[in-house]
Structure 1
Amino acid sequence: MSFPVDALLAVTYRCNARCVMCNIWQTPMQDDLSPAEWANMPASLKDINISGGEPFLRDDLPEIVSVVKGKCPGAKLIISTNGIAVKRIERSMERIVHIDPRIGVGISIDGIGEVHDRTRGLKGAYEKAIQTLQVLKKLGIKNLRIAFTAVEDNIDQMKDVYDLSRRLEVEFSCVVAHDSDVYFKTSGLRLNSLGCLKEQLNLVALSELKTFVPKRLLRSYFYSGLYGLVENGKRVLPCLAGEASFFLDPTGELYACNVLNSSMGNIRGEPFAKLWNSQKAAQVREKVANCRKPCWMMCSARSSIKKHPARVGLWILKNKTGIYLGKRSII
């Protein structure tokens, strides 16, 4: 089995938010991996998302970044944060930027003002997220993005948040809240306002498709696939979780993804390569192949998109041409 290129690393489940789409904060205290234990990573990784919980609640986050970057020097790292602990984030990033000057940070903003505060379950969360963005800009962080998670009560804010990202000159990404008993500790999440979701995703995807920036063109395709999943429960591309990508929880449990609750083992007890090529891992991949929990999140979809360049490129070319011919709907 070839080694993976994408990874989602949850370094802690501790969290200072109370999001409506996530119950991670209810997870009891755990024996999280030490910085040194994060060295048990495959050097093959090209894209790594360091997440949580809230990763900046770990005082040793710079040490974790140093270890992971040292083991995977060719990987692009991005840290996902809710942006609430402004001073803590600033102190940590002052060190991290010297470890990896190309480090990226994604800050969750799920609406404007009070809408974001309600979604994150904390008054003042929006102002703090904006403040964190400004602080990171002053630190010279170039790779910044706003990450929007769509739930029933904030769908109509998607384009507004996208427009905010353009004004602040940072990137924008969007996902729909997914059920996950292994990660988000949720079930029963559902979007009913499909018309509004389609309208908002279409506006964002159209704007992205009008550019000539490769990453933004690919995101327009991702958004099309995102709506397709919500509408009919099907992925537009086969899932490569457990082959090209994996999810690692704070205690070292290795999963194919952050949705399917089937562990390949724990990296505390075995070298990564041994777990990845084990019979147990093969059984997990069989479950992925027969998975009835379809998902479409960037951490796992990225590998699928990269593996099908002709199909994705044709979609982009067809719809980009359509825009110039007057097409106003690509979703």
Structure 2
Amino acid sequence: MRLVSHPVLCNYYVTYRCNATCSFCDIWERPSPYVTLENAKANFEALKKLGVKVVDFTGGEPLLHRQLDELLRAAKNAGLLTTVTSNGLLYPKYASKLRGLIDMLHFSLDSPNKEEHDTSRGVKCFDKVMESIQIAKSLNERPDILFTVFENNIHQIEQLWKDICLPNDLVLILNPVFEYNNVGSQLSSSALQELRNWGKKRNIYLNDAFVQLRIDGGNHVDNPVCLAGSTTIVISPENKLVLPCYHLGLKEFPIENHLEELYQSDEVQKLIALEGRLPACEGCAINCYMQPSFAVEINKYWWKALPSTLKYNFIKGTWKQLF
């Protein structure tokens, strides 16, 4: 049973540029402009009218955008929740400008070991993440740690949780790695079970529906769970609507300050109707689009996602802003 028929999330790519070269991501290889404040303001108003609740300012590295604070302020003025994930390199420089503008701030950290984390990111950023945590706390921000889980780092969850997250009262978000475009990898069944056990711990967030979807072999085109097109609006740095999702990106539509009309057009709606049913959708388990998919339709994944969703929103207090 479908609970929500409108989009709830916008993945807003403010730039594809990045100051890291992560081994499990290829977005930093793409040339890219930066979104303009004028276009963004028009889009925020349209997003609100379309029913979107949350805007994820993403990239690339979103802090590379010199006007990120203005973009965030405009989104909040439009009544939208904001989220930003950063590698921490630029946060100490811009923290004071961003204060109070990010509802869900995540710092990426894939190992409690400085050398291992920096190697995986292709740049020395471990110390910057540690510095960013302290600066954010001093500004009364409540950052989370986003830990991308691989087979080769799952054993480090305990150390990171005990040494970094618990002492700083941070939520540890476990983000199972996913495959796309021959990037990323899969987790073994034993690793998935271990993740489930960790998800029950204090100050740890794991969407158990991610685990269940992997056990089930990902999305299946004959009975799709992915609702990427109808739950998530993807906007590129070129101010284009990307469908059915960023990773597949079959078609891009110039927005030209008409996002609401464009999204509701027959051409876009016909493509949205193919969500999860395209050949490339078979076996997909991309977290960015599955999370909102799990939230809008009651099925076994909705029930699997519910406990962790309630847990995180209770800890962060963001549930109050969703109504």
TM over 0.5: yes
Q: TM-score when scaled to structure 1?
A: 0.77
Matched-pair contact (CA < 8 Å) for 1:264–1:280 = no
Change in 2 beyond 3 A, CA 1:23/1:299: closer
1:252 corresponding residue in structure 2: 239
* Counterpart-to-counterpart distance in 1, 2:277 and 2:302: 27
Give SS of 1:233's match: coil
User: What is the distance in 2 between the residues matched to 1:312 and 1:203?
Assistant: 18
Map 1:1-331 → 2, pairs under 5 A: 3-28=6-31, 30-39=32-41, 40-41=43-44, 42-43=47-48, 44-71=51-78, 73=79, 75-90=80-95, 94-98=96-100, 100=101, 103-113=103-113, 114-123=115-124, 125-142=125-142, 144-163=143-162, 164-180=164-180, 186-191=181-186, 194-207=188-201, 216=205, 219-225=206-212, 227-228=214-215, 232-234=217-219, 238-255=225-242, 256-267=244-255, 269-291=256-278, 292-293=280-281, 294-308=283-297, 311=300, 315=304
Once structures 1 and 2 are overlaid, which stretch shifts more, 156-165 or 168-177? 156-165
Q: Is the 8 A contact 2:106 2:144 kept in 1?
A: yes
Q: 1:138: Cα distance to partner?
A: 0.6
Deviation at 1:56, TM superposition (A): 0.8
- TM-score, length-normalised on structure 2? 0.79
Give the secondary structure class of the aligned counterpart of 2:166.
helix
Q: Is the 8 A contact 1:112 1:160 kept in 2?
A: yes
Q: Secondary structure of the residue that 2:199 maps to in structure 1?
A: helix
Q: Distance in 2 between matches of 1:249 and 1:295?
A: 21
Preserved contact between residue 206 and residue 220 of structure 1 (Cα < 8 Å) = no
Q: Return closer, same or farther for 1:296/1:63 CA change in 2, 3 Å cut-off.
A: same
**Conserved in 1, the CA contact under 8 Å of 2:294 and 2:305?**
no
| CA positional deviation for 1:246 | 2.0
Q: Is the Cα contact below 8 Å between 1:197 and 1:227 reproduced in 2?
A: no
Gap regions ≥5 residues in structure 1: 181-185, 320-331
Equivalent AA in structure 2 for residue 12 of structure 1: T
Residues 218 and 285 in structure 2, CA contact (< 8 A), matched pair in contact too = no
Structure 2 residue aligned with 1:329 = none
The alpha-carbon deviation at position 6 of structure 1 amounts to 0.8
Assess if the C-alpha contact under 8 Å between 1:54 and 1:81 holds in 2.
yes
Q: Deviations over 1:170-209 (max 9, x none)?
A: 11222233344xxxxx424323x5155224312312326x
Q: Secondary structure at the match of 2:241?
A: strand
Q: What one-letter code is carried by the residue in structure 1 that aligns with 2:188?
A: L
Retained in 2: the 8 A contact 1:21–1:151?
A: no
**Identical counterparts, % of pairs:** 22
Q: 1:10 to 1:317 in 2, by over 3 A?
A: closer
Give the RMSD, CA atoms, in angstroms. Answer: 3.1
Give the Å deviation of 1:237: 7.4
Task: Give distance in 1, aligned partners of 2:218 and 2:288.
Answer: 18
Secondary structure of the corresponding residue to residue 17 of structure 1: coil
Alpha-carbon distance in structure 1 between the residues aligned to 2:303 and 2:98: 39
